[in-house]
């Protein structure tokens, strides 16, 4: 890990790049429509004296705050566990998702994710069945320790950097800029809540209590001492699509002023941030930089179309950011 972060402040370096001074909060953003929209939004919130309790910003994680290709980081974590299971039981090697994990069939896995963003969850159900089995009966503390160890030591398969160095520097600056102007930032992700919590403060300056994500069913186990909470092989909620605004309401009790995402699964969250009585901003990150990251729109076609129709701010990695990581 290359830095530790506190909410609203830079305390070290971002992977070889000195932290920007306090008077340049969006130093990695090029001057243009996207940066102007962000700054103008924050200035309106300040000028209109929007109460602090209303200053809420929500961010998708995979593909919005950190890199999600060639596969979401959590999927790599899960696949390694599935491979270990298949090595112990060869019968699993002919069943999905163990088969894809063991054979490193990333095409099957990416197709599952892409079809999910187009409304076809048949593959997701198959993948979820394996995921739920992989960590069944593990205590929440044990799972968090495994996730924390993985995130702080594993490396991205193609970008030649640690996974925690795959967060987007301009988005870190945006989080700090908002926090410095009285915003409470939340992660609202289709990824696992308990996978992101151990690193959310260090990486994003977002307390673990503000991480909203997918989860499995949990159960209390009385061991005659302090007891334990264990993961059950049952889904609780997939925090994606229409679940995102519902979960935001459950946790926050209101609509956010700013929402940022990058895929069709973020559309309801972006729509939910529309506030007729307050300044509001919807950001859609577009992955269009094959040289520095990846170039793809699969799973984001509908979101990009709606951005043009409804005037959402599209942030181009290629054209709006001077640096990516």
Instruction: Over range 115-120, report the average pLDDT.
Output: 83
Q: The domain 33-69+159-320 belongs to what CATH superfamily?
A: HAD superfamily/HAD-like (3.40.50.1000)
Helix (H, G, I), strand (E, B) or coil at 127: helix
pLDDT, one tens digit per residue, over 122-161 is 888 888 888 889 999 999 999 999 999 999 999 999 999 9
Q: Which two tokens stand for residue 287?
A: 């992955």
In this prediction, residue 23 carries a pLDDT of 60
What is the three-class DSSP state of 113? helix
Please state the domain extents for the chain.
Answer: 33-69+159-320, 73-136
Please report the pLDDT score of residue 207 as a whole number: 98
- Do 289 and 131 meet the contact criterion of CB atoms below 8 Å apart? no
Name which of 49-58, 61-70, 101-110, 185-194 the model is least confident about: 101-110
4: pLDDT strictly greater than 50: no
Segment (H or E) for 228: strand 228-237
Give this prediction's pTM: 0.88
Copy the structure tokens of residue 255.
């609509």
**Within the chain, where are the H helices?**
33-47, 73-88, 98-103, 106-117, 122-134, 140-153, 169-180, 193-204, 243-252, 267-272, 301-310, 317-320
- pLDDT at position 269: 98
Side-chain-side CA neighbours of 44 within 13 Å: the count stands at: 13
pLDDT in tens, 28-58: 999 999 999 999 999 999 999 999 999 999 9
Average pLDDT of the segment spanning 299-318: 97
* pLDDT tens-digit map of 244-285: 999 999 999 999 999 999 999 999 999 999 988 999 999 999
Question: Does 20 have pLDDT greater than 50?
Answer: no
Residue 224 Cα distances to 62, 138, 218, 232, angstroms? 40, 18, 19, 20
């Amino acid at each position: 890990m290359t830095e530790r972060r506190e909410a609203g402040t830079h305390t070290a370096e971002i992977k070889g790049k000195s932290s920007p001074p306090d008077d340049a909060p969006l130093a990695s953003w090029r001057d243009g429509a996207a940066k102007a929209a962000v700054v103008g939004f924050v200035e309106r919130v300040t000028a209109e004296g929007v109460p602090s309790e209303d200053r809420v910003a929500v961010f998708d994680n995979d593909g919005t705050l950190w890199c999600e290709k060639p596969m979401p980081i959590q999927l790599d974590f899960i696949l390694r566990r599935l491979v270990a299971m298949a090595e112990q039981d060869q019968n699993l090697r002919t069943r999905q998702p163990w088969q894809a994990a063991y054979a490193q069939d990333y095409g099957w896995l990416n197709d599952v994710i892409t079809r999910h963003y187009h409304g076809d969850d048949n593959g997701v159900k198959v993948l979820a069945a394996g995921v739920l089995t992989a960590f069944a009966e593990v205590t929440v503390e044990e799972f968090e320790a495994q996730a924390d160890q993985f995130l702080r030591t594993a490396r991205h398969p193609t970008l030649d950097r640690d996974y925690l160095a795959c967060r987007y520097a301009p988005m870190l600056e945006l989080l700090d800029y908002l926090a410095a102007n009285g915003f409470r930032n939340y992660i609202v992700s289709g990824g696992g809540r308990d996978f992101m919590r151990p690193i959310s403060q260090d990486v994003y300056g977002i307390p673990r209590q503000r991480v909203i994500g997918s989860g499995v069913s949990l159960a209390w186990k009385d061991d005659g001492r302090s007891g334990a909470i264990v993961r059950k092989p049952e889904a609780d909620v997939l925090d994606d699509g229409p679940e995102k605004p519902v979960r935001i309401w459950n946790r926050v009790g209101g609509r956010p002023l700013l929402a940022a995402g990058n895929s069709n699964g973020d559309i309801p969250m972006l729509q939910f941030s529309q506030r007729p009585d307050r300044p509001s901003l919807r950001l859609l990150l577009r992955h269009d930089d094959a040289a520095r990251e990846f170039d793809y729109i699969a799973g984001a076609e509908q979101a990009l179309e709606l951005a043009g129709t409804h005037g959402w701010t599209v942030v181009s990695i290629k054209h709006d950011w001077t640096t990516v990581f």
